[in-house]
């Protein structure tokens, strides 16, 4: 019979340098001292160097007059604006191309990823070729290709290539119809907002009702009708206060419409095409990660194929897809800094480029630029961890 | 009379519709109307896209000559590439000394071949030579300045040689740092763990471009003024630190997959921390993450092209510079296609090798 021993004889602790706790303390103390020394030395050197070169320090420069134009500004900007403004304009341009890229890359990526699983041999081979071609070529090379080899070799505005007589492509980029709002237009977005809120409320109500009574409303159709219908009705009732400003060729250039920089186009196309190749692989592996037995079990329960897809396959595939997809989105945002190679005025090109060259305050500017990307990454990783904790398989 | 046959019936072939080319076509391309329509659309797209490309790149292309006058047809002008071939491979390396680069290339190719062909013996000693001996030999040969070799400053380096140098140094340097960081991140000492986490998350959170900018404008500020820092060296330090963080995350994935019992069994045998890690945990963990490591190598290789932005002349930058040569204006597509081909061949073969290794090492770990 086993009896718990009443007392375990306490072993001698042995020599001090064998004690793991003490060894850990010593190791950490050494690390701390070395780190402090290295950082102190770096700061010392930097201060000496800055003084020797006569570079000012501090963030006062942000108030200074920038004195250079930026080719694309989403906010009011002139050469008289401050360096602080250049930071903001650059940041917004980075966010613009990132948002455009994320949308396009997701759409292309999902299409290609699903095509790779197609039973059609040709289609799946075509998708494979796409993935293998674009993910094995450096992004910078693709950006340069689209910019210098494709967009810069388009004809002059007078011989523009036109698409539907509304979009015109030429060496100066793309001209497309721009919306021009008139008085009373603000009612339409408000209506859209109301429709969305009502739809969300309806979905919640429907879910509760189904849990209690087992009956459900065709909430998808109602929501679609609300979101599309209500703004449309309000738009017509308020007298269609939106006018499309279609570009027209007058003389040597276009008048009217919205001018899109060729740099933006090249960067957008390259980022989307490149990232889509990675997203396609993620989507494929996500869908393949759902065991086939899951679908068979759903069939055995006589769920329809639509319900099987929505309630069985996609939620499980998403568990694999979403975390990897987020890291691709982060990569895309970070990769958008390659804009500087073709002169798209993003954060790195404007702020860490021109502003740095003019002020010479490398440390502050590089730190601010890195901080922006770091904050975006950390916030997204934080949200991702919350999401992961929510969707993780609940185990006892 | 027996009710059953005494001899087997000879096997019959499946119906014509199900075998051979026709059967394959029916199951893979024309199974059902939607499938057939998709196939036809894909074939149409392929012909529309592929034929002009083949026509441009091969049939109508100009291959021989040494000036742009040789390019008379409508197709690609590969003369542009062949005329600049030496620059694309060696950069601005002095012509008389290029044999040194050739030797390094030859050793490099031989080492790679030796390491990837499974049948060749003495993998371990060759591997150690590749990691320690080869870098020293190539450093002496490429840079010179000792053993009677002429000194070749790094600003003359360029082209494929520079790309491979950056990639090799980045790969050889970032893997050990990454392993140390990964071990540090799993350490029980809070300070060690904290330092590693901050280091890894910092480098992973910023784009490589800003790291290269930092390396080129801030590194000189960090060291005493009289110390000269080579531009290439600055870029290499940036690249190594940046990729070591990614490598650390890959290795950490492998470390997490090794059951705790392995390390505990080692401790029970009286092994110290480094012995447990070096002899028991790391060999298993690294084997598991070889595909991840190779994928990081591929990304690193592709991103060597970013040194263009801080003014080093890798393959892409050399070609890009060649495009602005007034004698050769208007060959942008040829230049980029060729650069893409170089990168693609390297990256694609690496990814294929990683898949092959994955299958070969598939030891049942999941």
Q: Considering only alpha carbons, which residue of chain A is nearest residue B338?
A: A141
| Residue among B70, B95, B96 at smallest CA distance from B83 | B70
Rounded Cα distance, A343 and A71, in Å: 9
| Residue among B171, B294, B135 at smallest CA distance from B243 | B171
Last residue of a domain, which of A187, A208, A240?
A240
Whether residue B152 lies within 8 A of chain A, CB to CB, comes out as no
Contact A149 B336 (CB under 8 A): yes
Q: What are the CA-CA distances from residue A267 to residues A143, A261, A342 (Å)?
A: 6, 10, 8
Residue A6 belongs to some domain of the structure = no
Q: What are the CA-CA distances from residue A59 to residues A47, A85, A361, A368, B215 (Å)?
A: 16, 13, 9, 10, 21
Q: Are residue A190 and residue A309 in the same domain, yes or no?
A: no
Q: Are residue A289 and residue A143 in the same domain, yes or no?
A: yes
Domain ranges of chain B: 153-360
| Residue among B309, B332, B235, B341 at smallest CA distance from A338 | B309
Residue A232 belongs to some domain of the structure = yes
At residue B366 the predicted structure's pLDDT band, cuts being 50, 70 and 90, is very low
Q: Are residue A37 and residue A130 in the same domain, yes or no?
A: no
Determine the pLDDT at residue A9. 53
Q: Which of A29, A38, A118, A141 to mutate to test the interface with B (most CBs of B within 10 A)?
A: A141
Q: Considering only alpha carbons, which residue of chain B is nearest residue A380?
A: B205
Q: Are residue A165 and residue A193 in the same domain, yes or no?
A: no
Q: What are the CA-CA distances from residue B366 to residues A395, B254, B261, B356, B361 (Å)?
A: 19, 11, 17, 17, 12
Position A11 pLDDT exceeds 70: no
Smallest CA–CA separation between B113 and chain A, in Å?
21
Position B111 pLDDT exceeds 60: yes
> Could you write out the three-class secondary structure of B50-115?
HHHHHHHHHHCCECCCCCHHHCCCCCCECHHHHHCHHHHHHCCCCHHHHHHHHHHHHHHHHHHHHH
Q: What is the mean pLDDT of residues B234-263?
A: 90
The interface predicted TM-score (ipTM) is 0.85
Whether residue A114 lies within 8 A of chain B, CB to CB, comes out as no
| Residue among B228, B238, B243, B218 at smallest CA distance from B154 | B228
Q: Are residue A170 and residue A280 in the same domain, yes or no?
A: yes
Residue A14 belongs to some domain of the structure = no
Q: Are residue A183 and residue A229 in the same domain, yes or no?
A: yes
Contact A374 B209 (CB under 8 A): no
Whether residue A340 lies within 8 A of chain B, CB to CB, comes out as yes
Residue A21 belongs to some domain of the structure = no
| Residue among A318, A331, A270, A332 at smallest CA distance from A99 | A332
Q: Are residue A139 and residue A229 in the same domain, yes or no?
A: no
Q: Are residue A233 and residue A319 in the same domain, yes or no?
A: no
At residue A134 the predicted structure's pLDDT band, cuts being 50, 70 and 90, is very high
Instruction: Quote the domain boundaries for residue A191.
Output: 178-240
Contact A348 B210 (CB under 8 A): yes
Q: What is the mean pLDDT of residues B16-35?
A: 77
Give the percent of chain A with pLDDT over 90. 20
Give the percent of chain B with pLDDT over 70. 98
Long-range contacts of B107-110 (CB under 8 A, 24+ apart): B107/B134, B107/B137, B107/B138, B108/B134, B108/B138, B108/B164, B108/B168
Last residue of a domain, which of A240, A264, A285?
A240
What CATH number does domain B153-360 carry, 1.10.3720.10, 1.10.1500.10, 3.10.580.10, 1.10.1840.10? 1.10.3720.10
Q: Are residue A131 and residue A271 in the same domain, yes or no?
A: yes
Determine the pLDDT at residue A252. 67
Instruction: Let me know: does B290 contact B298? Beta carbons within 8 Å.
Output: no
Rounded Cα distance, B273 and B262, in Å: 12
In Å, the largest CA–CA distance within chain B is: 110
Q: Are residue A118 and residue A185 in the same domain, yes or no?
A: no
At residue A33 the predicted structure's pLDDT band, cuts being 50, 70 and 90, is very high
Q: What is the mean pLDDT of residues A153-166?
A: 73
Q: Which residue has the higher pLDDT, A185 or A228?
A: A228
What is the number of other CB atoms lying within 10 angstroms of the CB of residue A146? Answer: 23
Contacts of A341 in chain B (CB under 8 A): 308-309
Give the percent of chain A with pLDDT over 70. 93
Overall domain count for chain A? 3
Q: Are residue A291 and residue A357 in the same domain, yes or no?
A: yes
3-class DSSP state for residue A248? strand
Q: What is the mean pLDDT of residues B190-208?
A: 90
Determine the pLDDT at residue B97. 80
Residue A96 belongs to some domain of the structure = yes
Q: Are residue A169 and residue A192 in the same domain, yes or no?
A: no
At residue A177 the predicted structure's pLDDT band, cuts being 50, 70 and 90, is confident
B168: tokens are: 């090799």
Contacts of A118 in chain B (CB under 8 A): 38
Q: What are the CA-CA distances from residue B313 to residues B32, B118, B160, B318 (Å)?
A: 54, 35, 9, 5
The whole-chain average pLDDT of chain A stands at 82
Residue A273 belongs to some domain of the structure = yes
Residue A228 belongs to some domain of the structure = yes
Residue A199 belongs to some domain of the structure = yes
Position B365 pLDDT exceeds 50: no
Position A2 pLDDT exceeds 70: no
pLDDT (tens digit per residue) in B59-101: 777 777 777 777 777 777 787 777 788 888 888 888 878 888 8
């Amino acid at each position: 019979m086993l009896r718990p021993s009443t007392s375990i004889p306490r072993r001698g602790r042995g020599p001090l340098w064998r004690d793991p706790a003490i060894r850990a303390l010593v190791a950490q103390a050494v690390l701390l001292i070395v780190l402090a020394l290295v950082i102190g030395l770096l700061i010392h050197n930097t201060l000496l160097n800055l003084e020797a070169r006569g570079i000012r320090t501090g963030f006062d420069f942000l108030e200074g007059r920038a004195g250079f134009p930026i080719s694309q500004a989403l906010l009011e900007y002139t050469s008289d604006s401050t360096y602080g403004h250049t930071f903001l304009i650059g940041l917004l341009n980075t966010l613009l191309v990132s948002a455009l890229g994320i949308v396009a890359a997701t759409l292309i990526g999902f299409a290609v990823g699903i095509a790779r699983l197609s039973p059609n041999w040709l289609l799946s081979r075509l998708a494979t070729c796409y993935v293998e071609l674009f993910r094995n070529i450096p992004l910078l090379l693709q950006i340069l290709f689209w910019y210098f080899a494709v967009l810069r070799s388009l004809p002059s505005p007078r011989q523009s290539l036109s698409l539907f007589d509304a979009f015109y492509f030429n060496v100066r980029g793309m001209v497309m119809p721009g919306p021009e709002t008139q008085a009373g237009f603000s009612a339409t977005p408000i209506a859209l907002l109301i429709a969305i809120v009502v739809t969300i409320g309806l979905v919640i109500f429907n879910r509760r009702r189904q849990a209690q009574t087992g009956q459900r409303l065709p909430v998808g159709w109602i929501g679609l009708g609300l979101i599309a219908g209500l703004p449309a009705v309000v738009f017509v009732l308020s007298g269609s206060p939106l006018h499309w400003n279609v570009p027209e060729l007058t003389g040597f250039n276009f008048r009217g419409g919205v001018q899109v920089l060729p740099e933006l186009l090249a960067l957008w196309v390259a980022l989307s095409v490149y990232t889509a190749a990675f997203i396609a692989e993620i989507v494929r592996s996500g869908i393949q990660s759902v065991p086939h037995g899951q679908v068979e079990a759903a069939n055995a329960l006589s769920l329809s194929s639509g319900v099987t897809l929505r309630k069985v396959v996609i939620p499980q595939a998403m568990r694999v897809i979403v975390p990897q997809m987020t890291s691709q989105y982060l990569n895309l945002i970070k990769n958008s800094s390659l804009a500087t190679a073709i002169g798209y005025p993003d954060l790195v090109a404007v702020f860490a480029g021109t502003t740095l060259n003019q002020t010479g305050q490398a440390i502050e500017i590089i730190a601010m630029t890195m901080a922006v990307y770091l904050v975006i990454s950390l916030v997204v990783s934080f949200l991702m961890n919350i999401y992961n904790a929510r969707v993780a398989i609940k185990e006892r | 009379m027996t009710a059953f046959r005494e001899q087997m019936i000879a096997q019959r072939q499946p119906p014509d519709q199900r075998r051979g080319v026709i059967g394959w076509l029916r199951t893979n391309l024309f199974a059902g109307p939607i499938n057939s329509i998709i196939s036809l659309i894909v074939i149409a797209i392929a012909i529309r896209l592929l034929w002009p490309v083949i026509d441009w790149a091969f049939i109508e292309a100009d291959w021989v000559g040494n000036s742009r006058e040789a390019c008379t047809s409508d197709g690609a002008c590969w003369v542009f590439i062949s005329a600049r071939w030496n620059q694309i491979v060696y950069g601005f390396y002095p012509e008389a000394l290029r044999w040194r680069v050739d030797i390094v290339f030859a050793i490099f190719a031989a080492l790679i071949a030796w390491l990837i062909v499974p049948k060749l013996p003495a993998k371990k000693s060759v591997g150690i030579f590749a990691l320690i001996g080869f870098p020293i030999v190539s450093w002496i040969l490429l840079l010179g300045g000792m053993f009677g070799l002429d000194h070749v400053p790094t600003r003359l380096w360029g082209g494929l040689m520079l790309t491979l140098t950056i990639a090799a140094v980045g790969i050889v340097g970032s893997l050990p740092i990454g392993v140390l960081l990964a071990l540090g991140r799993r350490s029980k000492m809070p300070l060690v763990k904290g330092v590693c986490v901050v280091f890894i998350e910092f480098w992973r959170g910023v784009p490589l471009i800003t790291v290269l900018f930092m390396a080129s404008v801030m590194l000189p500020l960090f060291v005493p003024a009289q110390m000269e820092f080579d531009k290439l060296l600055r870029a290499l330090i940036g690249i190594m630190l940046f990729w070591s963080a990614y490598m650390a995350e890959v290795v950490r994935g492998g470390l997490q997959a090794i059951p705790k019992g392995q390390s505990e069994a080692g401790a029970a045998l009286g092994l110290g921390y480094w012995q447990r890690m070096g002899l028991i945990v790391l060999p298993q963990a690294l084997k598991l993450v070889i595909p991840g490591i190779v994928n990081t190598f591929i990304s690193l290789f592709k991103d060597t092209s970013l040194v263009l932005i801080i003014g080093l002349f890798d393959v892409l930058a050399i070609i890009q510079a060649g495009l602005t040569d007034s004698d050769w204006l208007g060959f942008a597509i040829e230049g980029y296609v060729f650069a893409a081909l170089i990168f693609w061949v390297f990256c694609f073969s690496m990814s294929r090798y990683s898949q092959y290794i994955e299958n070969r090492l598939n030891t049942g770990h999941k």
